[in-house]
A = this chain, B = another copy of it.
Amino acid sequence: MGDYSGDDDDAPHANSGRDGAQNAIALEEEYDPPESSVSSPTSMAKSPTDGSSSAVSPSQDEASSPDVSSRRPSSAKSTASDKEKRKRSRVTPDQLVHLERFFSVDRSPTAARRREISDMLGMQERQTQIWFQNRRAKAKLLDGKSKGRAEVTPPNSPPELRPGYDASLHNLIHENDPVTIIPCSDLTIGTWRRISTSLAKHDLVAYVCENRRCLVWFIHSSGYGFKMEIPFDIIVETEFTNAAPGSGLASFFLSQPPTFYLEDVAPANGHGPAVRSWKRCADWTEGMQATKILRHDLIGSAVQLAHVLRNFQATSSADIRLRSPSYNMRPEQSPALSVEAMPRTLANEAQGWSERPDVLSALDSRKRASFTGQPLVLHPAPNSVDYSVVEDQSHPSHPSQHPSPAPSAYQPYSHMSSASSTSSTYSSTPLYPSEVPDAHHHRQQHPHMMEYTGMSGPQRMYTPQGYPMPQSAPASHSQFGVAPTPSPPILTTPFHSRSELNGMHSSVGIGGHGGGPLLSAPPIMHYDDGLDDRR
């Protein structure tokens, strides 16, 4: 009855038209089987030992003696050294680093993308494919596990970082100091906006580094890591507003622009598995807005954000005013922020971010919902809510955290300039072709958004002076010969739009598939002068 495809009728498949040739996928292309042992006659299924994936074997020596050339451990595959049995190639540590990065960007790369990766890393495509498969399986297992745990996690437990303590996340940000993760979903600076696709993907991570006394926004885009650090000392004011239930908007008002970093991956040069370090660089936000606009809006876990802000109040210097969390959970009731509250998203979309409209709109609506919540009313922090100190495990939390100095009265920032000055400011440094000043103006229609939008004077001076602008680096500087460097995280989420927007992979580079028009901005290149990551 419910036959699924007509399909009946016997097939006169005399064709055996073998070999699409192109595919090669497969199951072992290259069964070069001089004598591969059919192995046990027990069952035909059992003896897959035959030469499936020969080649590759990254010789083990490179584990210890790392030689950059390890990238292509098997380039001269014809060595014939391999007897037969050699199954199980090992992925080298540096290969692993990159694989993990690629994975964090796109868990299911297309065949074409896999091929790129394979070329870059000197792996067989089959290997790469299998690696991703297994990695996906592992990931699913892991976050299935963590999820299962999360469900079991008592909701009353203190808002420390998730018990899960995502190791891959910490590997991603590779900070040497302990950090406290702040789950977040959305970061907005001016018209520049970054949306996290899912918490699991870690494309947007906020965290606090107590040791270095700074807040950090980490962004993972196109396989590369970006971050900006905000020293506690330049945070002049914070605001907190409840948005959706459980979710809050924290606004940080700075006295100076943050410091920008870019991940530098030295492919196992000399020895040791691929050194990744943070290199200081120029503002990589679109239009360098983060240099000009000193207000940062972060949407994330209400309790965690509240806790972080409260902590600020305790530890940061004198002029910090904690505007405090407000816990009136009435998200739908206050239409203070209408849809127009987020006009910048429209601007972003106008820039060509149209792929996956379904997801986009979904996220957008979610975001709007966030902003339709409580307006930015300032309440004093309810002391009744007592959260323990949020600390990274393995991190000895500072015992005395200056138990909340008396919050002084709210004092608005007088040094803010008008919106008009803002527009003039950044139009004077037209570094990004994709820059859209209009969006900026548009945004200013809402008072909450424009309030701290413009800023003048001293901050401007700080901007890209000693630090390289992305465009200035030579293209040949990339790690791989293959049109390498990532585009800066201009905006939006890193969507690997399986795009078929044509064969753009050759020109766009590593993480660039699907970037679309956004990638018209010149790629950021690594810059490694004396500036190294401080710590």
Binding site for B on A (CB under 8 A): 1-22, 24, 27, 29-34, 38, 41-45, 47, 50, 55, 77-78, 108, 110-112, 115, 118-119, 124-126, 129, 140-142, 144-145, 148-149, 152, 165, 167-168, 170-171, 355-359, 498, 500, 502-503, 505-506
**Contact between A171 and B44, CB atoms less than 8 A apart:** yes
**Contact between A144 and B10, CB atoms less than 8 A apart:** no
- Specify which chain B residues have a CB less than 8 angstroms from the CB of A7 in the assembled complex: 111, 115, 119, 129
Residue of B19, B41, B356 near A498 (CB, 8 A) is B19
Residue of B17, B148, B498 near A31 (CB, 8 A) is B148
Q: A4-B115, A124-B3 are in contact. Are A38 and B110 (CB under 8 A)?
A: no
- Specify which chain B residues have a CB less than 8 angstroms from the CB of A9 in the assembled complex: 110-111
A18 to B506, CA, bound (A): 18
Q: A14-B500, A502-B14, A503-B11 are in contact. Are A118 and B4 (CB under 8 A)?
A: yes
A38 to B150, CA, bound (A): 13
Interface pairs (28), CB distance under 8 Å: A1-B78, A2-B32, A3-B29, A3-B77, A5-B21, A5-B22, A6-B22, A7-B115, A10-B108, A11-B115, A11-B505, A13-B111, A14-B500, A15-B500, A16-B112, A17-B498, A17-B500, A18-B110, A18-B500, A20-B498, A27-B141, A33-B152, A34-B152, A38-B165, A41-B165, A41-B170, A41-B171, A45-B141
A121 to B201, CA, bound (A): 43
Q: A31-B2, A500-B16 are in contact. Are A8 and B111 (CB under 8 A)?
A: yes
- Specify which chain B residues have a CB less than 8 angstroms from the CB of A498 in the assembled complex: 10, 17-20
A122 to B112, CA, bound (A): 41
**Contact between A167 and B4, CB atoms less than 8 A apart:** no
- Specify which chain B residues have a CB less than 8 angstroms from the CB of A358 in the assembled complex: 21-22
**Contact between B167 and A111, CB atoms less than 8 A apart:** no
Q: A22-B6, A129-B4 are in contact. Are A167 and B41 (CB under 8 A)?
A: yes
Q: A13-B111, A110-B10, A167-B47 are in contact. Are A4 and B124 (CB under 8 A)?
A: yes
- Specify which chain B residues have a CB less than 8 angstroms from the CB of A165 in the assembled complex: 38, 41
- Specify which chain B residues have a CB less than 8 angstroms from the CB of A41 in the assembled complex: 165, 167, 170-171
A355 to B20, CA, bound (A): 10
Q: A3-B29, A7-B129 are in contact. Are A14 and B503 (CB under 8 A)?
A: yes
Q: A22-B6, A38-B167 are in contact. Are A108 and B13 (CB under 8 A)?
A: yes
A149 to B35, CA, bound (A): 9
Q: How far is the CB of A497 from chain B (nearest CB, A)?
A: 8
**Contact between A11 and B142, CB atoms less than 8 A apart:** no
**Contact between A168 and B110, CB atoms less than 8 A apart:** no
Q: Which of A10, A34, A42, A165 has the most CB of B within 10 A?
A: A10
Q: Which of A3, A126, A355 has the most CB of B within 10 A?
A: A3
- Specify which chain B residues have a CB less than 8 angstroms from the CB of A22 in the assembled complex: 5-6, 13, 358
A403 to B141, CA, bound (A): 63
Counting from the closest, the 9 A-B pairs by CB-CB distance are: A8-B111, A18-B498, A10-B498, A41-B170, A44-B167, A3-B30, A11-B112, A44-B168, A14-B503
**Contact between B110 and A8, CB atoms less than 8 A apart:** yes
**Contact between B145 and A31, CB atoms less than 8 A apart:** yes
A209 to B511, CA, bound (A): 61
Q: How far is the CB of A296 from chain B (nearest CB, A)?
A: 26
**Contact between A77 and B13, CB atoms less than 8 A apart:** no
- Specify which chain B residues have a CB less than 8 angstroms from the CB of A359 in the assembled complex: 21
A115 to B16, CA, bound (A): 12
- Specify which chain B residues have a CB less than 8 angstroms from the CB of A27 in the assembled complex: 141
- Specify which chain B residues have a CB less than 8 angstroms from the CB of A118 in the assembled complex: 4
**Contact between A4 and B16, CB atoms less than 8 A apart:** no
Q: A3-B77, A31-B149 are in contact. List 15 more A-B contacts (CB 8 A).
A: A2-B30, A2-B126, A3-B29, A9-B110, A10-B498, A10-B503, A11-B112, A13-B112, A14-B500, A34-B152, A41-B171, A43-B144, A44-B142, A44-B167, A50-B145
Q: How far is the CB of A137 from chain B (nearest CB, A)?
A: 9
